[in-house]
Amino acid sequence: MLSNSRAAYRAHNHQRCIDAAMSRAHERCAERRARLTPIREAVLALIWQSHRPLGAYAIADKLPPVNGKKVQAPSIYRAIDFLLELGLIHRLPSQNSYIGCPFPGNEHSDVFMVCRGCGSAAEVSADALNQIIADTSQRSGFLLESQCVELTGLCLACRDGELP
């Protein structure tokens, strides 16, 4: 089971997460002959600033201005589309936000655990879960093409700290 939940929810050297993500991004773009332009790279880096998903306008607000002008929404969305396409980020539809993918390129279901305490999201790729989803689809005669699984709750850290 691939998972970044340990990293996402605990104190860790996050710079390593960032470095790894950016380096994977460069690799992947090279493979696909796609261009990781400055805007795209900046957006990806921003998304990886933490394990909390970011909305498009939050990204726009945090991006450093170019020539004194804020980068506008369409540019942000174009960068997001590009990164989604390459599988470098994922969208969390329930909150209109975007999160870096810790293992792009690997076959993996898109399963996220989103903590309502700290806001962090961890991606988990569980084969067993995948398998059940495939079985369930098949038994219903449904040709599965993609999926989106968002689990909401409290991560270990927030569970200890904040008694509900």
Partner DNA sequence: AAATAGATGAAATATTGTAACAAAATTGCC
Partner DNA sequence: GGCAATTTTGTTACAATATTTCATCTATTT
Site for Zn ion, rule CB under 5 A: 7, 14, 17, 115, 117-118, 155, 158
Helices 38-47 and 14-32: angle between axes, nearest 10 degrees: 140
Q: Which does 86 bind (CB under 5 to 8 A by kind): Zn ion, DNA, a copy of itself, none?
A: none
82 and 43 Cβ atoms separated by less than 8 Å: no
Residues that bind DNA in the complex, under the rule CB under 7 A: 34-35, 37-40, 55-58, 66, 69, 71-75, 77-79, 82, 96
Nearer residue to DNA within complex by CB, 55 or 87? 55
Q: Which does 17 bind (CB under 5 to 8 A by kind): Zn ion, a copy of itself, DNA, none?
A: Zn ion
**Shortest Å, Cβ 80 to a copy of itself:** 15
Which of 94, 100, 102, 161 binds a copy of itself (CB under 8 A)? It is 94
Distance in angstroms (rounded) separating the CA atoms of residues 59 and 119: 16
Q: Which does 14 bind (CB under 5 to 8 A by kind): a copy of itself, DNA, Zn ion, none?
A: Zn ion
Query: Interface with a copy of itself includes 138 (CB under 8 A)?
Result: no
Sign of CA dihedral 72, 75, 81, 87: negative
Backbone angles phi, psi at 57, to 5 degrees: -80, -25
Nearer residue to DNA within complex by CB, 74 or 141? 74
113 and 121 Cβ atoms separated by less than 8 Å: yes
Distance in angstroms (rounded) separating the CA atoms of residues 5 and 33: 31
Give me the half-sphere count of Cα atoms (radius 13 Å) on the Cβ side of residue 164.
Answer: 9
Instruction: Return the residue matching tokens 């340990």.
Output: 6
Provide the binding-site residues for a copy of itself, judged by CB under 8 A: 1, 3, 5, 9, 93-95, 111, 113, 115-116, 122, 124, 126, 128-129, 132-133, 135-137, 139-156, 159
